[in-house]
Structure 1
Amino acid sequence: MPSRNILVINCGSSSIKFALVNEGQSSFPLQGLAERLGSPEAVIHFESTAGKESVNVPDADHQAALAQILPRVEEAAGGHLDGIGHRVVHGGEKFFASTLLNEETLAGIEANIQLAPLHNPANLSGIHAAMNLFPRLPQVGVFDTAFHQTMPEHAYRYAVPDILYKEHGVRRYGFHGTSHRFVSKRAAEMAGVPVENSSWLVAHLGNGCSTCAVVNGESRDTSMGLTPLEGLVMGTRSGDIDPSLHNFLHNTLGWDLAKIDNMLNKESGLKGLSGLSNDMRTLTEARKQGHEGAMLAFEVFCYRLAKSLAGMACALDKLDGLVFTGGIGENSAVVRARTLDHLKLLGFKADDEANARCTRGVAGEIQAVGSPRVLVVPTNEERQIALDALALLDA
């Protein structure tokens, strides 16, 4: 039986990230990014074994971009595409697992728009476009929030009036679930520990960052909440702040909610602290040169990360190890080392040589002798989405 092919689509408001995943190949036969959709500068970037190519598609919307992408996908798949997996940001409490997409499930995604007004409409645009172009092909929704639906109530409830939860769904949902699920399972495999009898602390660190406590393959707590703003310091997001900051800024500076929300999501985090960049690579270099903002941003980022991981340990009965993943987690040895320095009370310590080796997709253990296990595990959300799609096709 030939290896099957799944197209994975991740739609933003003006972008489409895509990858063709073949179940028998470790690398993607074709992947790429359509960006600046809806503008005269709209462009699609393709990457395959043959090389890289960019195609201008002025004013293309999601459907027009997919109409350009899908013929190339079919060609790369040898004319045999088995299904499409869609990343969907928010599944609310309705979706606790990946699901085949139909009228009922699409209505459920639409009902959660109030929980993710920027993301779910974009996800739906991609789904509708793909369904129009491939009406007979099975399509699967994989939800960022679904993995965290195993959190106990004491972990996901906010201490606000009950009616806000029961009538409006105000609770902690968590995100990055596909990544946390993939790397915690991979960590168990690497460590030779049964997934169903394992306990991990996981740090997914990219432009968006979150921690998670994973017990026996299930999420027991995570740092993000109702929205992806809660929790860690991120590239441009503030993470946790005093909830009354909104009142202070409104009363003192006259800012409205839209201005405050924009500042907390797009002008804060590493970018806001450093006054320089949201990119940890840039800040790491600037820190070496003595840039005070970069040094401060680095220290706050690592301290807040360690503080969150220590808190996540409350959800574990035992600890098999700590996992770093995501662009920063997989590539920044200095972030990993500094974070572990803050966790010395739990016995964590990095081996400098092993830590330095684990960059650019290299997985491995980086703990010093006597330290609990620390793993660097490259994430692969596209492959996890494809695996979910294949499992549903098999079922």
Structure 2
Amino acid sequence: MRVLVINAGSSSVKLRVVEPDGAVGHRADLDAPRGRPAAGELEATAIRLAHEAGGVDAVGHRVVHGGPDFTGPTRVDPDVLARIDRLTVLAPLHQPPALAGLRAVAEAMPDVPSVACFDTAFHTTMPAAASTYAVPSRWRAEYGLRRYGFHGLAHDWGSARAAELVGRPRESVRVVVAHLGSGASACAVVDGRSVDTTMGFTPTAGLVMATRCGDLDPSAVTWLTLHAGVPAAEVDHALDHESGLLALAGDADMRRVLGAAEAGEPDAAAALEVWVHRTRAQLAAMAAAAGGVDVLVFSGGVGENAPALRRRVVAGLGFLGLALDPDADTAAVGGREGDVSAPGAAARTVVVHAREDLVIARQVEEVMVAATRST
């Protein structure tokens, strides 16, 4: 089955045509400030790629938040689209671009079926101990307040690919995946199943990100609104759009923050200290949730391309049996994958090129094959 994959993020839209053998024959990356490409650009690009590929059988869309209802990939119809729309408040950076992509493709290619593939679905295997918040039961029952987790498509791929790289069956390995980019999260995967992750009810929780704060004392929010007089809408916007590296270093781009720190800029250096400290601590927490770690995975734009940061993070995790080979680590950039562990390290560290497109294509095929069998 040939699948057009659309991955709409908060600053770009990636389109890939995945062939039946998993090869990517045609691709395009669109600039999309605040998740929106230029008017008509997505529709025209989708049509062009499908034509160049000789047609596509289905379109797969990455959707960040599936809420409590969407626990697996789902064929898109007007009702599904409306239900995804209602979840926008829980993922304000990513849900609108995904919805725009779903609607644009439905209009441009009405005869091609679309399937929504949800980042939250991978984490439905988390035990109640990991997904439950200690808040009033009415909040949990009426409002669905729980930890959902995100980046599931990336964590699914990263954990599976890591097992391949170290030559172990996925069903018998404990993996901690650090998916580090503008958005960032870590996940504990045991025997191929998510057992814990750092993001929560929304993608704001967990690690320090480009513009998101990560973990924050919830009473800080109520104090700001009730006692400092900061409007709730202002707090809500700031936690997603004006926090993280941007707030600490004055720049949301990790590459520029690294350069500024190397040039002796004190705010950038301090921002990296915070970032590394939080990343180490939460990776260690994921290892604890997994009952130990056999393989640590770095993926995502930062995870794949910042060897200096990988070394700083792992330098504080030696108690987990992790250690890096500096030469192998330095070489693993620009999409190059591999085992970057130091010789003799008790646990392995690998760099994995994130391939959500292949996970989405696989899920789309599963949905379409199941639909064919049921008719």
TM-score normalised by length of structure 1: 0.87
Query: Bigger CA drift: 312-321 or 212-221?
Result: 312-321
Displacement of 1:133 after TM fit?
A: 3.0
Structure 2 equivalent of residue 279 of structure 1:
253
Structure 1 equivalent of residue 17 of structure 2:
20
Among 164, 170, 188, which residue is 2:145 paired with? 170
Among 41, 52, 57, which residue is 1:65 paired with? 41
In 1, distance between residues paired with 2:291 and 2:142? Answer: 34
8 Å contact kept, 2:91–2:203: no
Q: Please, which runs of 5 or more residues in structure 1 have no aligned partner?
A: 44-59
Structure 2 letter corresponding to 1:264: L
Among 165, 183, 200, which residue is 1:190 paired with? 165
Structure 2 letter corresponding to 1:225: G
After superposition, the Cα gap between the structure-2 partners of 1:385 and 1:25, relative to the gap in structure 1 and judged at 3 Å, is closer
Displacement of 1:265 after TM fit?
A: 1.5
After superposition, the Cα gap between the structure-2 partners of 1:163 and 1:286, relative to the gap in structure 1 and judged at 3 Å, is same
Structure 2 letter corresponding to 1:24: D
- Superimposed CA distance per residue, residues 163-196 of structure 1 (whole angstroms, 9 cap, x where no aligned partner): 1111110111111000000111011111111112
Displacement of 1:87 after TM fit?
A: 1.1
Structure 2 equivalent of residue 212 of structure 1:
187
In 2, distance between residues paired with 1:312 and 1:182? Answer: 17
Equivalent position SS for 2:217? coil
Displacement of 1:108 after TM fit?
A: 3.7
After superposition, the Cα gap between the structure-2 partners of 1:294 and 1:308, relative to the gap in structure 1 and judged at 3 Å, is same
Structure 2 letter corresponding to 1:301: W
In 2, distance between residues paired with 1:118 and 1:281? Answer: 21
Query: Bigger CA drift: 208-217 or 278-287?
Result: 278-287
After superposition, the Cα gap between the structure-2 partners of 1:177 and 1:281, relative to the gap in structure 1 and judged at 3 Å, is same
Among 134, 137, 140, which residue is 2:112 paired with? 137
In 2, distance between residues paired with 1:74 and 1:142? Answer: 20
8 Å contact kept, 2:197–2:286: yes
Give RMSD over aligned pairs.
2.3
8 Å contact kept, 1:20–1:31: no
Equivalent position SS for 2:69? coil
In 2, distance between residues paired with 1:162 and 1:6? Answer: 42
Among 341, 353, 357, which residue is 1:382 paired with? 357
Query: Bigger CA drift: 166-175 or 12-21?
Result: 12-21
Structure 2 equivalent of residue 54 of structure 1:
none
In 2, distance between residues paired with 1:268 and 1:117? Answer: 15
8 Å contact kept, 1:184–1:214: yes
Equivalent position SS for 1:149? helix
Q: How does 1:241-256 map to 2 (within 5 A)?
A: 241-250=216-225, 253-256=228-231
Displacement of 1:356 after TM fit?
A: 0.6
Among 7, 13, 20, which residue is 1:10 paired with? 7
Equivalent position SS for 1:8? strand
In 1, distance between residues paired with 2:11 and 2:336? Answer: 32
Equivalent position SS for 1:7? strand
Equivalent position SS for 2:218? coil
8 Å contact kept, 1:30–1:76: no
8 Å contact kept, 1:34–1:65: no
8 Å contact kept, 2:4–2:50: no
After superposition, the Cα gap between the structure-2 partners of 1:159 and 1:35, relative to the gap in structure 1 and judged at 3 Å, is same
Structure 1 letter corresponding to 2:338: G
Matched residues, percent identical?
A: 43
8 Å contact kept, 1:233–1:270: yes
In 2, distance between residues paired with 1:38 and 1:373? Answer: 36
After superposition, the Cα gap between the structure-2 partners of 1:108 and 1:374, relative to the gap in structure 1 and judged at 3 Å, is same
In 2, distance between residues paired with 1:394 and 1:142? Answer: 15
Structure 1 equivalent of residue 312 of structure 2:
338
In 2, distance between residues paired with 1:149 and 1:38? Answer: 27
TM-score normalised by length of structure 2: 0.91
Displacement of 1:107 after TM fit?
A: 4.5
Say yes or no: does 1:365 pair with 2:339.
Answer: yes
Q: Please, which runs of 5 or more residues in structure 2 have no aligned partner?
A: 371-375
Structure 1 equivalent of residue 197 of structure 2:
222
Structure 1 equivalent of residue 367 of structure 2:
392
- Superimposed CA distance per residue, residues 5-47 of structure 1 (whole angstroms, 9 cap, x where no aligned partner): 21112346896432222233644412121535999xx64xxxx
In 1, distance between residues paired with 2:249 and 2:32? Answer: 28
After superposition, the Cα gap between the structure-2 partners of 1:84 and 1:177, relative to the gap in structure 1 and judged at 3 Å, is same
Query: Bigger CA drift: 326-335 or 69-78?
Result: 69-78
Structure 2 equivalent of residue 46 of structure 1:
none
In 1, distance between residues paired with 2:112 and 2:20? Answer: 17
- Superimposed CA distance per residue, residues 328-381 of structure 1 (whole angstroms, 9 cap, x where no aligned partner): 100111111111111122222211111111111111111112321000011011
In 1, distance between residues paired with 2:61 and 2:242? Answer: 29
In 1, distance between residues paired with 2:151 and 2:35? Answer: 27
After superposition, the Cα gap between the structure-2 partners of 1:250 and 1:344, relative to the gap in structure 1 and judged at 3 Å, is same
Query: Bigger CA drift: 221-230 or 309-318?
Result: 309-318
Structure 1 equivalent of residue 87 of structure 2:
112
Say yes or no: does 1:259 pair with 2:256.
Answer: no
In 2, distance between residues paired with 1:115 and 1:272? Answer: 22
After superposition, the Cα gap between the structure-2 partners of 1:268 and 1:34, relative to the gap in structure 1 and judged at 3 Å, is closer
Structure 2 equivalent of residue 50 of structure 1:
none
In 2, distance between residues paired with 1:332 and 1:73? Answer: 32
Structure 2 letter corresponding to 1:35: A
8 Å contact kept, 2:35–2:94: no
